[in-house]
Amino acid sequence: METAALVVVLVIALALFFDFTNGFHDTANAMATPIATGALKPKTAVLLAAVLNLIGAFLSTEVAKTVSGGIVREDAISKMGAEVFLPLIFAGLIGAITWNMLTWLLGLPSSSSHALFGGLIGATLVGVGATGIDFGMVLSKIILPAVIAPLTAGLIAFAATKIAYGVTRRYDGKPDGRSGFRWGQIFTSSLVALAHGTNDAQKTMGVITLALITIGWQSGAHHEPQLWVIVACAFTIALGTYLGGWRIIRTLGKGLTEVKPAQGFAAESSTAATILASSALGFALSTTQVASGSVIGSGLGRRGATVRWATAGRIAIGWLLTLPAAGGVGALAALLVIWLGTWGVAIDAVLALVIIVGLFMYSRRNEVTHANAMSDVAESGLAVDQPEVPGPTRRATRIELMRALERAERKADEAERAARRAKKLKKVGASPAEVKAAKRAAQKAADKFAEAERAAQEWELLSASRKERAKLAEWDIAVDEQEDAR
């Protein structure tokens, strides 16, 4: 029992460390957009993110219940006993942290949440077998939300961006007041930080609660996390967020993609709404992936945007890889426990220590590279290619067409009048010079009429064809080349 108690303490410590790295890693996700658009000063953004993560952690416990009471079958745990199952949770956590650190070092897109679930599932599969996992729950509360949530967020962000631009668009060239979205971004990015605290802090609460239930310090009938667990997780994620922010301040301005305030506002609203709605129903999704989905969706919501499939594919592969890869590492750590018993736990603990020290040393490095300068969310913005100046809207071309038609009509009248005048002058016997001048004027008016008619035809073609309108977009070739080189 003493060994089991010691392992519980180790699990709690490691889970809290995971919580800390989660906050550390994800500050950028909530705050990259408002910093990029200049809505918030980096220091203010980081402090705000930390405070709201803290508050968010207290809002709901549905996700924690999913983790503590859904993934692993309790009958399997009780059959095995706490002494065997607790080291498996420990091994799962090691799998999660190792994979997180590896992806961070290599600059691969990943998700802390899926690393955690992958680690836990991998360790349980090896230690208990397939009967230990509630696959229905894993599919409906983890895997399907993982696939659906970023798509949902992307679709909503796409629609929200269209609304934001559509409602504020002006056709008379007067100011549209879109920079006012910068104020709004302060609130929406705060909502994202709040949502992050609500969903991500709960995952750690769930793991700790699972350990407490396994050892019998908490009744299996209640999967709600205890108050001290909530408080500890809330403060740890807030601390991680705050300290992670300093890394962002250091690397700020390097590798942020350009986001317009209206677009950022729409993307953040969509991220916050999707995460909060999912948290309320107990879906344990990846906040990084949802925020990335929103950034891509809102980018596509802007006129003339196209998807860079190579970048999008790389991101998607990183996402798909996380769960099985972390599962593999978790399974390896669990194998050590199964083969070597207490010695296995000790080796796992040493491995965890090495990883933690390594992570700490790495975070102290001042070098700014592709891997640490950019958050996954900011990077996902690169999956969308946007023209510097998009082509005209359909309505704008229709307005221009009306103007061109009016002009053509006017010019037709003028040409007819000039031709009549030339004829009249010839009839009344005016001097040849006068007639010549009148003929020249008539020819000029006719040319202008033809020109106006050509312009009207061009506008007609533009208003009928989206492709033709897109051809008028102006692309910044220098920026594209720079991005391709990167």
Q: Which amino acid is at 317?
A: I
How many angstroms separate the CA atoms of 181 and 289, rounded?
24
Of 342 and 482, the one with the shorter C-beta distance to another protein is: 482
Q: Which is nearer to another protein, 56 or 87 (CB)?
A: 56
Task: Report the nearest approach of another protein to the CB of residue 323 (Å).
Answer: 17
* Cα separations in angstroms, 80 against 83, 88, 179, 444, 445: 8, 11, 60, 97, 96
Q: How far apart are CA 315 and CA 332, in angstroms?
A: 26
Which region, left, alpha or beta, applies to residue 41 given φ > 0 means left and ψ of -120 to 50 means alpha? beta
Task: Work out how close the CB of 321 gets to another protein at its nearest, in angstroms, rounded to a whole number.
Answer: 24
For another protein, the closer CB: 346 or 479: 479
Nearer to another protein, 177 or 429 (CB): 177
Please state the closest distance from residue 169 (CB atom) to another protein, in A. 9
How far is it, in rounded angstroms, from Cα 295 to Cα 120? 29
Q: Closer to another protein at the Cβ: 82 or 160?
A: 160
Residue type, 274: T
* Residue 72: φ, ψ to 5°: -100, 135
**CB closer to another protein out of 270 and 463:** 270
In three-state secondary structure terms, 306 is strand
Residue (76 or 191) nearer to another protein, CB: 191
Q: Dump the DSSP string for 64-93.
A: HHHHHHTSB-HHHHHHH-HHHHHHHHHHHH
Quote the least distance from Cβ 221 to another protein, whole Å.
18
CB 465, min distance to another protein, A:
27
Closest by alpha carbon to 99, among 335, 293, 324, 316? 324
Question: At closest approach, how far in Å is the CB of 209 from another protein?
Answer: 16
Closest distance between another protein and the C-beta of residue 62, in Å?
A: 6
Phi-psi region of 190 (alpha: psi -120 to 50; beta: other; left: phi over 0): alpha
